[in-house]
């Protein structure tokens, strides 16, 4: 199964429940915030530096998510997506990416359609059962706790890119 990691050129992540633990913190004036894992951030920016396509597709409209992902060098961020499958199709068609070379990490029902189209559907340990059923790899780590790092690290290691020169510059 890990041999499939060898063909990955593109990482696509859901945000809430994958890059965050799914919690939304609301302050007394109604502003919402989320917590992101620093180890996920390290792996994501490293994947960008190593030349992988890195993308986020989310139903959320969080400006915080956009800011965090852009700060990691991720420019392909699609927020407020009511149909993730259509967004996915446009993204891969515009960039000439084969779905077989895509790893998509999702955690809940809105991710199911995309996960059925990619070469490597994966999920965090605490994903919905329907998502686990279609996943070819289930991380031992929950959403927002380093599950993105887990899968990015596996791909980079199997492709011999984990401890390259890019790894030492943050």
Task: Count other Cβ atoms within 10 Å, centred on residue 152.
Answer: 27
Residue spans of beta strands (DSSP E) within the chain: 10-13, 25-26, 32-33, 53-57, 76-78, 102-105, 120-123, 137-138
Contacts of 96 (CB under 8 A, 6+ apart): none
Is 16 annotated in a binding site? The answer is: yes
Which residue is associated with the tokens 């790894």?
A: 167
Is 111 annotated in a binding site? The answer is: no
Is 107 annotated in a binding site? The answer is: yes
Binding site listing: 14, 16, 107
Which residues belong to the annotated binding site for Mg(2+)?
A: 14, 107
- List binding-site positions for substrate: 16
């Amino acid at each position: 199964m890990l041999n499939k990691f060898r063909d990955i050129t593109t990482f696509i992540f859901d945000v809430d429940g994958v890059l965050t633990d799914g919690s939304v913190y609301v302050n007394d004036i109604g502003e919402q915030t989320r917590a992101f894992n620093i180890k996920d951030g390290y792996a994501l920016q490293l994947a960008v530096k190593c030349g992988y396509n890195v993308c986020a597709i989310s139903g959320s409209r969080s400006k915080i998510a956009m800011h965090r992902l852009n700060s990691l060098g991720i420019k392909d961020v699609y927020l407020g997506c009511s149909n993730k499958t259509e967004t996915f199709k446009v993204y891969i068609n515009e960039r000439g990416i084969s779905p077989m070379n895509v790893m998509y990490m999702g955690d809940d029902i809105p991710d199911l359609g995309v996960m059925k189209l990619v070469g490597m559907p994966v999920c965090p340990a605490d994903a919905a059962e329907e998502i686990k059923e279609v996943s070819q790899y289930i991380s031992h780590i929950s959403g927002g706790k380093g599950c993105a790092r887990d899968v990015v690290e596996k791909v980079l290691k199997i492709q011999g890119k984990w401890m390259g020169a890019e790894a030492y510059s943050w």
